Copies of this chain bind each other. A is one copy, B any other.
Amino acid sequence: MGESIRTPQQKRSIDKKNRIIEAGYELFARDGYFNTNTAQIAKHAGVSTGIVYGYFRDKRDILLEVLSIYVDKAFTPIMEIFDNLKTPLDFESLLSTIIDSTIEIHRNNASIHEALHSLTSSDEAVGNKFLELEKDMTINIVDTLKAVGYAPDDLYERVHLAMEMIQSYAHECVYDLHDYIDYDKMRTSIIKVLLSLFTD
């Protein structure tokens, strides 16, 4: 009855908890959440099955921690770009920076993104976390743009749209999914389109 999930204080324990999260991260990314079992996570982390339940309520709890870490990884680099924004705005170079960064994020995290995002439909908390991520990014970007004096009426919509385009481009780019697509040409198209989007 409400027996305690360990909140590790000591260095060794923190390492162990992190090793479990790391193992979850890797296995979920490689095989997906449903194709990974707790025994595999424990083994991959080099711990016993039992201790997993010392640090996590259940398997899903590991998922949530993995998700949390992923969200940070995905969020931070883009936000840093906006934190260091220089005026006057040079949209074209800003876009280029963002696209590069997004591609880089995808390159490093594509598998886990897929594995986690695929749970959106069957796990509400996961879905909400992704929504929250999108929302936070959009609002942050909108606020930053407003702060530098760019404030058209439909800014939320434009930013959101731009983010989705860039993300979906980065995703395809990393996986090089379609042989009929020249991703460099596509990049040019996207930048052109986005410039037109942010130009009244």
Contact = CB atoms under 8 A, between A and B. Distances in A.
Contacts of A154: 182, 185-186, 188-189
Nearest to A119: B118
Interface residues on A, range: 35 or more
Contacts of A122: 31-32, 34-35, 115, 118
Counted per complex, copies of this chain come to 4
Contacts of A165: 161, 164-165
Interface string A164-176: 1100110000000
A129 to B, nearest CB: 13
A158 interface: yes
Interface string A98-137: 0000000000000100110111111000000001001100
Given A118-B118, A120-B114, A134-B178, A186 B168 contact: no
B180 A139 contact: yes
Nearest to A115: B121
Interface of A: 1, 3, 31-32, 34-35, 39-40, 111, 114-115, 117-122, 131, 134-135, 138-139, 153-154, 156-158, 160-161, 164-165, 168-169, 177-178, 180-182, 185-186, 188-190, 192-194, 196-197
Q: Which 10 pairs from chain A and chain B are nearest by CB?
A: A114-B121, A118-B118, A32-B122, A196-B196, A157-B186, A154-B185, A193-B197, A157-B185, A34-B34, A164-B168
